[in-house]
Amino acid sequence: MQTPQEKFPQLCCEQIKLLTGGKKLAYIGTYGCQQNVSDSEKLRGLLIEAGYEPTDDDSAADIVVINTCSVREHAEAKVFGIIGALSHKKKRQPDCVIAVCGCMTEREGAKQKLRASYPQVDIVFGPSELQRFPEYLYRHLSERERVFSAHTYAAAERPEIHEGLPAARDKSVSAFVSVMYGCDNFCSYCVVPYVRGRERSREPEAVLREVRGLAEAGYRDITLLGQNVNSYGKGLPDAVTFPELLRRVNEIPGDFRVRFMTSHPKDADGELFSAMAECDKVAACLHLPFQSGSTRVLEAMNRRYTREQYLEKVTAAREKIPGLVLTSDVIVGFPGETEADFEETLSLIEQVRFDALFTFIYSPRPGAPSYLTKATDAPETIQARFDRLLAAQNRISEELHAGYIGKTVRVLIDKEVGGAEYPFEGRTEGNRLVRCKTGEPGQFRDVTVGGATRWSLFE
Ligand code: SAH
Ligand code: SF4
Ligand code: F3S
């Protein structure tokens, strides 16, 4: 049963359909992380309810939605470029609607820039008000007004979670399920706590209902999402922890795999590793961002763990979870990072040997505490460190991948990609990409690995 509040977006969708007569095309451009991919799936679901048909061609669309990311300067610059280019479309097609949403719109500076310098933008709203999108769209279509949401997190400390939005998913084999929103960790370089607001968890029953539905619909790979899933459950009336949630998800009948991201190392503990080891549906893979190998830098980043504590967690996880695939994120060039600090980052990756590593150059974000602290070294020095790090990780990934040759791995076939030799693509339990000779999307297959590169495995 939907509450009247939950029904309201659908009522607005019906009004939009009456107003436009349906038969309109919608394009959604998504930037940023999986959280945005998942949000875009809900926006697409709402647009379908409002009578729009999804298209991949923005030039033909009657509405263009740009779901933005703010995590690094480059991400914002790219989006401003795309929105800028949409002015040509607006000239050609003045009735088309341009909506901008996502994390960037929660940065006051970016929002002001959109208002002042991008007149082609009709609607702006933040990531915690997806449910209001139909209302904003209706207001714009009926009154021709520019609708810039006045939402700020200051007004609603912990915005309510709106359940029941329809999701039109990108894929039919794998699916994202948000278990929580926002972040309370305030790493000093990061804009996410400011653009996504305070941490809040969905009721376990709502998560379980969604996973059950996906399993029944034939989804085989389900990723539970949150900025720090280990904080799941804080503040819920029925205080369920993340390991407990994993155990409950594991009991749902069906042949599917469960992953999750992201885990903050300070809260990843034995409870989590035991749940991962004991739940047969939970994949033996863990994304555990370390950010820096130097305790001094970790302290300045407000990460609240030391290099040694991080390494202890890795050892504990590997002891408990056989065949664990471990991936991580790292930042190079944080203000104050010295050559010696960087050497510690390098030595950490040599010691841990991550299966894959997402490497970033530090980007100062307005509003984040480290914003005004200048980098100690020149950009060229930082770039050279970044290149050394990448080269080291590429070698490690290549060596680890070569170790799969001759072994048999269980692969979930994702899709048919064409090509003569390896027409199918799939993923191992540890999320390694495998190019396969045969298969059927949505089916598991045991594949003997015949070749490997740093990026993927081959049958
Ligand atoms: N909540 C997740 C990650 C969110 S952002 C976590 O804590 O693990 C994804 C990654 O982007 C981070 O792990 C970090 O490595 C990187 N990142 C975040 N802010 C950044 C910044 N200002 N400059 C460079 N990289 C950044
Ligand atoms: Fe950003 Fe840190 Fe929160 Fe991750 S845990 S989203 S890096 S503040
Ligand atoms: Fe970007 Fe927002 Fe995700 S800032 S990384 S889209 S939470």
Percent of residues, the chain, with pLDDT higher than 70 = 100
Question: Does residue 273 lie within any of the structural domains?
Answer: yes
Question: Does residue 154 lie within any of the structural domains?
Answer: no
Question: Does residue 231 lie within any of the structural domains?
Answer: yes
Q: pLDDT-based confidence at 17, cuts 50/70/90?
A: very high
Q: Of 283, 310, 329, at which residue does a domain stop?
A: 283
Same domain, 391 and 419: no
Same domain, 366 and 317: yes
Mean pLDDT of the chain: 95
pLDDT at 42 (0 to 100)? 97
> What is the number of structural domains in the chain?
4
What is the rounded distance in angstroms from the CA atom of residue 207 to the CA atom of residue 224?
9
Q: Kindly report the CA angle at 447 between 442 and 448, in degrees rounded to 5?
A: 170
CATH for 278: 3.30.750.210
Ligand 3: which atom is nearest the Cα of residue 68? 6
Which whole number is the average pLDDT over 219-237?
95
Q: Which has more pLDDT, 22 or 392? A: 392
Give, for ligand 3, the residue of 70, 190, 229 to mutate: max count of ligand atoms closer than 8 Å to Cβ.
Answer: 70
Q: pLDDT-based confidence at 152, cuts 50/70/90?
A: confident
Q: What is the DSSP track for 123-167?
A: EE--TT-GGGHHHHHHHHHHH---EE----TTTSSSPPP------
**What is the extent of the structural domain holding 73?**
4-148
**Does the pLDDT value for residue 154 go beyond 80?**
no
pLDDT at 435 (0 to 100)? 97
Residue 349 has which token pair?
Answer: 């990756």
Question: Does residue 166 lie within any of the structural domains?
Answer: no
CA 351 to ligand 3 center in whole angstroms = 30
Same domain, 15 and 138: yes
Which whole number is the average pLDDT over 275-299?
98
**Does the pLDDT value for residue 207 go beyond 90?**
yes
**Does the pLDDT value for residue 376 go beyond 90?**
no
Which whole number is the average pLDDT over 249-259?
97
Which whole number is the average pLDDT over 348-366?
97
pLDDT at 219 (0 to 100)? 95
Same domain, 114 and 130: yes
Instruction: Write out residues with Cβ below 6 Å of ligand 1.
Output: 71-72, 189-190, 192, 227-228, 262, 264, 289, 291, 329, 331, 360, 362-363, 365
**Does the pLDDT value for residue 155 go beyond 80?**
no
Same domain, 398 and 308: yes
SS3 labels along 18-41: HHHCCCEEEEEEECCCHHHHHHHH
- Establish whether residue 358 lines the binding site of ligand 2, counting it when its CB lies within 6 angstroms of any ligand atom: no
Question: Does residue 156 lie within any of the structural domains?
Answer: no
**Does the pLDDT value for residue 441 go beyond 90?**
yes
Same domain, 376 and 433: no
Same domain, 316 and 279: no
pLDDT at 297 (0 to 100)? 98
Same domain, 232 and 260: yes
What stretches of 356-421 show up as alpha helix (H) in DSSP? 379-402
Give, for ligand 1, the residue of 337, 360, 371 to mutate: max count of ligand atoms closer than 8 Å to Cβ.
Answer: 360
pTM of the model: 0.96
**Does the pLDDT value for residue 239 go beyond 90?**
no
pLDDT at 1 (0 to 100)? 64
Question: Does residue 159 lie within any of the structural domains?
Answer: no
Question: Does residue 444 lie within any of the structural domains?
Answer: yes
**Does the pLDDT value for residue 330 go beyond 80?**
yes
